[in-house]
């Protein structure tokens, strides 16, 4: 059976951060014959089961089609008709790629909640009472007399008695058959009543289960319209799962929704170039009695891949915005990832090759039926290399989750700073918030954000910046050192360790003092930036503030403070 090729793993529970409730259930499933893998998720076990069932049926149907094709291919001799059929198929596959964006414009991507409900009728037919009919009553047999029986009375009477006995025996057997049938019919009636009761129970259970499932769909719908974050993500997953793509294209993605800024982040696994059709025509070579395939050129394949990537990106954004029935999405950040083999190392890599963040109001102004996808992508400030087929990695514009319990509310310090303020003698907490303010102003032109962490006095992570700039951006760890002595290499080494532990792209160390030669040597060729007192004063002046750094005065002030404690 084809279903034997389907393997379903153990159901996994995905809990919320606090570990108090299950957000969703997940299960891995695969089809050995098709060599396909799917990660199925749902907020309820029953819905997960339905999704697994639907995916299994889809694979079974697909596998049956493939098996039929294989059988035909094995049995059918190559012919002109087969060549034409395969050529038409190849042309159709290429047209599907060409129409990736146009295809979605005629479809309403809003989730049809009613279509998700189960509306099947109970499959079992009503039991029928089967009763056996009586055999026909035997007709009375009348004797026919011979000449001698007619004239010899004893012979005639003997024959009459013979037929009387024969008729009596036939009636007796008929009555016995009736009695046996009556007995069987009585048993059939009893069995029928039991079957009818059991059938009624199964029917009731069937519709009860169906009603419970449909109630879950209604509950999901209501949660979505109520703005539940998990339901919004689940809804968006359904939208993208409903999107029809060529069978060889993977449809794996991760979504994250931030209700505070209404940004949906889409981490999309786009198809590798190996998934694209490359046959343009199939011809029958009569001399060799074989079919010959003709392929599109490598430059054509690369061009098709590049165009498809832009189309998939814009299509995904369009589908999500169009399906946003409750206007909960103000902007979408899309990162396109490709699994491929690094030809230099031979290792498999998963690289982000294009990234874009676009606001709904801006995107809805675009007429997708008349655009050039690449030009439109670039016009929307999307980030990608000139040739996507080169698989050159780019920095995602927005990828990092900003949920960090260490973050605290910042407060303004810069406006209270003037030329009489000695930064080296500032309150250490005020100094950290001043640094946060400065970098916030530095990054805000690019949509960046800087968050200050809880006060620790230990010189750890004082602030974290999220910079969307594709070149210098990412997660940046900032440490503020209000020092009056030269900063040694140990502080720089600690910063580097923090950068690695935080998974950051860069570390910045800001100090009121200067750095020793060992510190600069260690930072060389590492993603570290060392800003001394002079750099700090320049940064202040750049953003309209003035202060001073007097190390000697600061030492005296700090010593006096320590003495008065």
Is residue 295 within 8 Å of residue 283, measured between CB atoms? no
Give the pLDDT confidence score for residue 1 in this predicted structure: 46
Tell me what pLDDT residue 146 has. Answer: 87
Q: Among 343, 335, 345, 447, which residue's Cα sits nearest to residue 393? A: 335
Q: Give CA–CA dist 545/434, Å, rounded.
A: 11
pLDDT digits (tens, 9 = 90+) for 425-442: 888 888 888 888 888 887
For residue 389, give every residue at least 6 positions away whose Cβ sits within 8 Å of its Cβ, in sequence order, or none. Answer: 273, 301, 302, 305, 306
Distance of CA 493 to the CA centre of its chain: 40
pLDDT value of residue 454: 54
Predicted confidence (pLDDT) at residue 28 exceeds the cutoff of 60: yes
What does the pLDDT look like over 168-178, one tens digit per residue? 999 999 999 98
- List residues bridging with 100 in a β-sheet: none
The secondary element (H helix, E strand) that includes residue 362 is: helix 360-363
CA distance 541 to 27: 56
Q: Do 269 and 337 touch, CB atoms closer than 8 A?
A: yes
What distance in Å separates the CA atoms of residue 546 and residue 531, rounded to the nearest whole number? 17
Angle at which helices 153-225 and 229-241 pack, to 10 degrees? Answer: 120
Q: Where are the beta strands (DSSP E) in 270-310?
A: 279-285, 290-295
Question: Hey, which residues does 349 pair with through a beta bridge?
Answer: 340
Distance CA 149, CA 129 (A): 53
- β pairing state of 36-42 and 279-285: unpaired
Would you mind telling me the total number of residues written for the chain in this entry? Answer: 565
CA atoms within 13 A on the CB side of 423: 32
Choice among 195-199, 264-268, 475-479 with the minimum mean pLDDT: 475-479
Angle ∠(89,105,321) on CA atoms, nearest 5: 130
Angle at 329 between CA 324 and CA 330, to 5 degrees: 130
Predicted confidence band of residue 322 (pLDDT cuts 50, 70, 90): very high
In three-state secondary structure terms, 454 is coil
Residue found by looking up tokens 């190559």 in the block: 78
Scan for tokens 């891995």, then name that residue.
28
Average pLDDT over residues 256-279: 87
User: Distance between CA atoms of 281 and 294, rounded to whole angstroms?
Assistant: 5
Distance CA 308, CA 245 (A): 11
The kind and range of the H/E element at 452 are: strand 449-453
DSSP state at residue 351: E
Coil, helix or strand for 395?
coil
Q: Which residues contact 121 (CB under 8 A, 6 or more apart)?
A: none
Chain centroid to CA 140: how far?
Answer: 82
CB atoms closer than 10 angstroms to residue 295: 13
Q: What is the Cα–Cα distance from 511 to 546, expressed in whole angstroms?
A: 16
Residue written as token pair 């879950």: 216
Q: Per-residue pLDDT for 2 more than 60?
A: no
Tokens coding 275: 């998934």
pTM comes to 0.52
| pLDDT band, very low/low/confident/very high, at 445 (cuts 50, 70, 90) | low
pLDDT score of 209: 93
How far, in Å, CA of 71 to CA of 69, rounded? 5
Provide DSSP, 456-521. -SSSS--EEEEE--TTT-EEEEEEEE--SS-B-HHHHHHHHHHHHHHT-SEEEEEESS-B-HHHHH
How high is the pLDDT of residue 327? 93
Q: Work out the mean pLDDT of the chain and round it to a whole number.
A: 85
Cβ count near 319 (within 10 Å): 19
pLDDT tens figures, 48-84: 888 888 988 988 888 888 888 777 666 556 567 777 8
CA of residue 95 relative to chain centroid, distance: 26
Note whether 162 and 145 are within 8 A (CB).
Answer: no
| Rounded-to-integer distance, Cα 51 and Cα 43, Å | 11
pLDDT in tens, 511-543: 999 888 888 889 888 889 999 988 888 888 888
């Amino acid at each position: 059976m084809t279903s034997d090729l389907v393997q379903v793993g153990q159901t996994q529970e995905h809990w919320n951060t606090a570990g108090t409730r299950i957000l969703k259930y997940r299960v891995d499933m695969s089809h050995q014959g098709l060599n396909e893998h799917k990660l199925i998720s749902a907020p309820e076990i029953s819905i997960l089961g339905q999704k697994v069932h639907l995916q299994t049926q889809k694979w079974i149907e697909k596998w049956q089609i493939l098996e039929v094709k294989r059988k035909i291919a094995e049995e059918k001799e190559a012919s002109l008709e087969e060549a034409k059929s395969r050529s038409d198929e190849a042309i159709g596959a290429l047209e599907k790629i060409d129409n990736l964006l146009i295809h979605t414009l005629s479809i309403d991507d809003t989730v049809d909640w009613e279509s998700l409900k189960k509306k099947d009728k109970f499959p079992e037919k009503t039991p029928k009472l089967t009763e056996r009919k009586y055999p026909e009553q035997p007709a009375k047999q009348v004797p026919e007399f011979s000449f001698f029986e007619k004239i010899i009375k004893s012979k005639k009477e003997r024959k009459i008695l013979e037929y009387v006995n024969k008729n009596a025996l036939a009636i007796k057997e008929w009555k016995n058959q009736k009695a046996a049938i009556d007995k069987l019919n009585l048993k059939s009636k009893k069995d029928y009543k039991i079957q009818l009761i059991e059938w009624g129970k199964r029917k009731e259970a069937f519709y009860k289960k169906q009603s419970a499932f449909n109630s879950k769909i209604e509950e999901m719908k209501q949660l979505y319209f109520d703005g539940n974050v998990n339901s919004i993500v689940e809804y968006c997953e359904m939208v993208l799962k409903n999107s029809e793509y060529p069978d060889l294209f993977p449809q794996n993605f991760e979504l994250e929704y931030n209700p505070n800024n209404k940004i949906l982040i889409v981490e999309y696994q786009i198809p590798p170039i190996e998934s694209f059709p490359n046959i343009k025509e199939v011809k029958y070579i009569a001399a060799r009695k074989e079919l010959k395939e003709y392929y599109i050129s490598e430059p054509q394949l690369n061009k098709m891949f590049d165009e498809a990537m832009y189309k998939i990106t814009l299509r995904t954004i369009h589908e999500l915005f169009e399906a946003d029935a409750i206007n909960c999405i103000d902007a979408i950040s899309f990162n396109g990832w490709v699994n491929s083999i690094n030809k230099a190392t031979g290792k498999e890599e998963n690289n982000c090759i294009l990234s874009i963040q676009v606001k709904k109001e801006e995107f809805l102004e675009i007429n997708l039926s008349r655009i050039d996808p690449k030009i439109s992508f670039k016009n929307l400030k999307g980030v990608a290399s000139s040739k996507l087929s080169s698989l050159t990695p780019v920095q995602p514009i927005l990828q990092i989750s900003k949920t960090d319990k260490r973050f605290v509310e910042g407060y303004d310090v810069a406006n209270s700073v003037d030329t009489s303020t000695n930064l080296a003698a500032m309150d250490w907490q005020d100094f950290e918030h001043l640094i946060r303010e400065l970098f916030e102003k530095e990054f805000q032109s690019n949509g960046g954000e800087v968050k200050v962490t809880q006060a620790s006095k230990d010189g750890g992570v004082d602030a974290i910046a999220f910079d969307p700039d594709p070149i210098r951006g990412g997660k940046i760890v900032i440490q503020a050192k209000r020092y009056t002595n030269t900063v040694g290499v140990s502080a720089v080494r600690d910063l580097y360790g923090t950068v690695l532990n935080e998974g950051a792209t860069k570390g910045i160390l800001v100090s009121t003092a200067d750095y020793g030669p060992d510190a600069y040597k260690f930072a060389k060729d590492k993603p570290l930036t060392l800003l001394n007192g002079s750099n700090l004063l320049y940064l202040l002046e750049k953003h309209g503030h003035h202060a001073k750094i007097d190390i000697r005065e600061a030492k005296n002030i700090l010593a006096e403070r320590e003495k008065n404690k």
